[in-house]
């Protein structure tokens, strides 16, 4: 297939997710490509890149927006899944893929590039089965649209869920008692190599559907842990035992890694079966791409984390069919509030805003950190994220970023930061910081669910009194310190 000298119009779906965010950066480097994104919330698009791309707001369940997104496009990337949407994810994935394929055919799109998972149907987990079904649906009408289905196993990159699990286990546990599945074979791959295959897929001169399995050398999960330890210069001992059930293993991951129970359970389920390449199409059709070795991928990921160059994280997606980016109206509906107002005098507003944007993560919450940690542990206990997600970058925030157990839902430079609580709560909560003239207004909003919601709010009032009273002062102190240095 050749496209001649014309510019090529490419659509990325899932553009606010782990792979999609990185793919858009790489595709923007190609001057012959016009990029369009389909996103559920345009505020989540990287503001530095937004003006370089066309953005269509919508999702794959809304036919009209879908038609608008694919109109005039040559190639589309399908990087969507509904795993975070709850028990119904398989049905949603099916409908989403059918809608997308049909919209592409109706618009005359030539090619869909889809990234799915490695593995075979016979031993696949529920999640992998749904990924396989998605690939089958997208490729079901080859006479009308071509599909290149790239299949990857464990992706190693800064911020990927699998790598965060490996990194946390290795860094936190000198001795690891592991389930038997550490002997399961797998073929991991560096995230940059995944992107290279995806990018090369839009240019590939090939007729008809193609499935391309990608990965570096074969290894056992246990070897992934020990090689990562070696790469990090740590001595670690792994003892596989037969008694660790998948449920226990998931609790284990919950305790020591940033992933919540639902994701841990799905990953453990996936680890039980082999995820190795079933074809040699990667070397046959993309001989120019030489995937780097696992150890190198680990070192690259660590380097990105150390250099604060994490471009995307596993928790960037909203994780549900309904986007978590809320509107003002939601907050207005909150019936319980804790509001603090502080006059910060002649400190520059930008300094206050910069201090606001550096809360949480490794530097903590400026005050009563033990109470924040305790709240994080309670959240973990109930299957939530706890504080372990930390932050993507120590000072930079963007809409959609996870920040401990919060999600950034609004950012107005030097004006406002709004966080939505993602901890397990009997209600909905936000923490808002507003800069008005020389005043900082900090408001915790809570919309309780029934009597339990109200009981929760009143039972934590004494803690709120301490934490919120001091938080606003400490933010101003922090800004003051920065001003005087």
Ligand X SMILES: NC(=O)c1ccc[n+]([C@@H]2O[C@H](COP(=O)([O-])OP(=O)(O)OC[C@H]3O[C@@H](n4cnc5c(N)ncnc54)[C@H](OP(=O)(O)O)[C@@H]3O)[C@@H](O)[C@H]2O)c1
Find the binding residues for ligand X in span 164-203 (CB under 6 A): none
Beta strands (DSSP E) in 189-258 are 189-190, 210-214, 219-220, 237-240
* Binds ligand X (CB under 6 A): choice among 33, 97, 103, 155: 155
Alpha carbons 374 and 386: distance in angstroms, whole number: 9
Q: Are the beta carbons of 181 and 271 closer than 8 angstroms? A: yes
Strand-pair partners of 55: 37
Is 444 an interacting residue with respect to ligand X (CB under 6 A)? no
Closest to ligand X by CB, 316 or 338 = 316
Residues in contact with ligand X, shown as a per-residue x/- string from 16 to 55 under the rule CB under 6 A? xxxxx-----------------x-xx--x-----------
Stretch of 46-54, 113-121, 241-249, 335-343 contacting ligand X, by CB under 6 A: 113-121
Total of chain residues touching ligand X, rule CB under 6 A? 33
State the nearest-atom distance from the C-beta of 329 to ligand X, in Å: 19
Encoding tokens for residue 454? 């109200």
Closest to ligand X by CB, 56 or 229 = 56
Q: Are the beta carbons of 388 and 380 closer than 8 angstroms? A: yes
* Binds ligand X (CB under 6 A): choice among 152, 200, 277, 355: 152
Is 318 an interacting residue with respect to ligand X (CB under 6 A)? yes
Strand-pair partners of 146: 111
Is 317 an interacting residue with respect to ligand X (CB under 6 A)? yes
Instruction: Work out whether the CA dihedral 218, 223, 228, 231 comes out positive or negative.
Output: negative
Find the binding residues for ligand X in span 128-147 (CB under 6 A): 131
Characterize 303-337 residue by residue with b for buried, 16 or more Cβ atoms within 10 angstroms of its Cβ, and e for exposed: ebbeeeeebbbbbbbbbebebbbbeeeebeebebe
CA of residue 89 relative to chain centroid, distance: 17
State the nearest-atom distance from the C-beta of 47 to ligand X, in Å: 15
Closest to ligand X by CB, 24 or 443 = 24
State the nearest-atom distance from the C-beta of 316 to ligand X, in Å: 6
State the nearest-atom distance from the C-beta of 101 to ligand X, in Å: 14
Helix (H, G, I), strand (E, B) or coil at 429: strand
C-alpha distances in angstroms, 283 versus 39, 100, 132, 215, 316? 33, 29, 22, 11, 32
Residues in contact with ligand X, shown as a per-residue x/- string from 55 to 84 under the rule CB under 6 A? ----xxx-----------------xxxx--
Alpha carbons 78 and 14: distance in angstroms, whole number: 7
| Binding site residues, ligand X, CB under 6 A | 13-20, 38, 40-41, 44, 59-61, 79-82, 96, 115-117, 131, 152, 155, 160-162, 316-318, 323
């Amino acid at each position: 297939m050749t496209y001649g000298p014309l510019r090529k119009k490419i659509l990325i779906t899932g553009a606010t997710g782990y792979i999609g965010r990185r793919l858009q950066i790489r595709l923007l480097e190609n001057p012959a490509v016009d990029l369009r994104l389909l996103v559920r919330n345009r505020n989540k698009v990287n503001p530095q890149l937004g003006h370089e791309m066309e953005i269509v707001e919508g999702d794959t369940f809304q036919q009209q927006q879908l038609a608008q997104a694919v109109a005039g496009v040559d190639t589309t990337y399908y990087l969507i899944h509904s795993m975070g949407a709850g028990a119904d994810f398989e049905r949603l994935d099916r409908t989403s893929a059918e809608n997308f394929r049909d919209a592409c055919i109706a618009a005359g799109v030539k090619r869909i590039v889809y990234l799915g998972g490695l593995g075979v149907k016979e031993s696949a987990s529920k999640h992998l089965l749904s990924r396989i079904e998605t690939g089958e649906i997208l490729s079901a009408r080859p006479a009308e649209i071509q599909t290149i289905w790239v299949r990857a196993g464990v992706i190693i990159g800064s911020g990927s869920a699998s790598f965060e699990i490996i990194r946390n286990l290795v860094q936190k546990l000198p001795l690891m008692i592991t389930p038997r599945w550490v002997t399961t074979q797998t073929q991991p791959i560096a995230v940059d190599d995944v992107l290279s295959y995806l990018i090369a897929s839009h240019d590939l001169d090939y007729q008809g559907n193609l499935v391309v399995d990608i990965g570096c050398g074969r290894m056992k999960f246990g070897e992934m842990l020990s090689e990562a330890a070696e790469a990090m210069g740590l001595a670690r001992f792994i003892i596989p035992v037969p008694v660790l059930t998948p449920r226990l293993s998931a609790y284990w991951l919950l305790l020591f890694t940033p992933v919540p129970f639902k994701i841990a359970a799905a990953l453990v389920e996936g680890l039980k079966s082999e995820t190795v390449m079933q074809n040699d199409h990667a070397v046959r059709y993309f001989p120019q791409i030489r995937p780097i070795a696992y150890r190198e991928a680990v070192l690259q990921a660590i380097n990105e984390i150390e250099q604060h160059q994490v471009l995307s994280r596993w928790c960037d997606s909203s994780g549900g069919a309904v986007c978590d980016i809320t509107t003002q109206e939601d907050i207005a509906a909150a019936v319980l509030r804790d509001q603090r107002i502080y006059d910060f005098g002649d400190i520059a507003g930008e300094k206050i805003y910069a201090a606001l944007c550096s809360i949480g993560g490794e530097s903590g919450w400026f005050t009563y950190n033990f109470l924040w940690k305790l709240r994080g542990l309670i959240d973990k206990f109930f299957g939530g994220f706890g504080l372990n997600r930390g932050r993507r970058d120590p000072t930079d925030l963007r809409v959609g970023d996870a920040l401990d157990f919060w999600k950034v839902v609004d950012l107005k430079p030097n004006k406002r930061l709004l966080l939505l609580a993602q901890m397990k709560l009997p209600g909905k909560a936000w923490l808002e910081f507003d800069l008005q003239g020389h005043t900082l207004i900090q408001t915790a909003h809570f919309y309780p669910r029934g009597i339990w919601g109200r009981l929760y709010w009143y039972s934590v009032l004494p803690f709120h009194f301490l934490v919120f009273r001091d938080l606003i002062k400490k933010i101003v102190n922090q800004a003051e310190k920065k001003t005087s240095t």
